[in-house]
Amino acid sequence: MLSGKRGKAGAIKVCTTEAALNTFAKQFLDKDFQGEQVRFIILAEKIEIDHEYYISITYDTEKKIPFLLFCEEGGVDIEEVKAKDPQKILRVDINPLFGPSQKDLAKIFPKEPNFCDFALRLWDVFWKYDLRLCEVNPLARSSGKLIAVDAKVILDDSGLVRHKNIEVFQKGAISAIPTQRELAAKKIDAEDYRGSAGSTFIEFEGDIAILASGGGASLLVMDALLAFGAKPANYTEYSGNPPREKVEKLAEITLGREGLSGCLVAGAYANFTDIFETLGGFADGLLKIKPKPNYPIVIRRGGPRQEEAYIMLEKFAKKEGFDFHLFGPDTPISVACQKMAELSKKYKDQK
Question: What is the full per-residue pLDDT of the chain (351 aa) written as tens digits?
Answer: 566 667 777 788 888 898 988 998 888 888 877 777 787 888 888 889 999 999 999 999 999 999 999 998 887 777 788 888 888 899 999 999 999 988 888 888 867 778 999 999 999 999 999 999 999 999 999 988 999 998 989 988 778 778 877 776 666 555 567 889 998 998 898 878 899 999 889 999 999 999 999 768 899 999 999 999 999 999 999 999 999 999 999 999 999 999 999 999 999 999 999 999 999 999 999 999 999 999 999 999 999 999 999 999 999 999 999 999 999 999 999 999 999 999 999 999 998
Question: What is the reported pTM?
Answer: 0.67
Q: Supply the DSSP string of 181-207, one letter for each residue.
A: HHHHHHHHHHT--SSEEEEEEEE-S-S
Q: Which fold has domain 47-159?
A: D-amino Acid Aminotransferase; Chain A, domain 1 (3.30.470)
Cis peptide before 291 (omega within 30 of 0): yes
Contacts of 149 (CB under 8 A, 6+ apart): 47, 49, 52, 136, 138, 139, 140
Q: What pLDDT does residue 24 have?
A: 86
Nearest residue to 300 (alpha-carbon basis) of 338, 252, 255: 338
- Domain borders along the chain are 1-46, 47-159, 175-350
CATH fold for domain 175-350: Rossmann fold (3.40.50)
311 in Cβ contact with 279 (< 8 Å): no
Which pLDDT score, from 0 to 100, does residue 29 have? 86
Task: Please provide the distance, in angstroms rounded to a whole number, between the alpha carbons at the two ends of the chain.
Answer: 43
Burial of 76 (0-12, 13-18, 19+ CB in 10 A): middle
Give yes or no for a contact between 340 and 264, defined as CB atoms under 8 angstroms apart. Answer: yes
Instruction: Please tell me the predicted confidence (pLDDT) of residue 45.
Output: 86
pLDDT of residue 170: 62
Q: What is the pLDDT of residue 173?
A: 57
Please say whether the beta carbons of 336 and 298 come within 8 A: yes
Contact 225, 209 (CB under 8 A): no
Greatest CA span in the chain, whole angstroms?
79
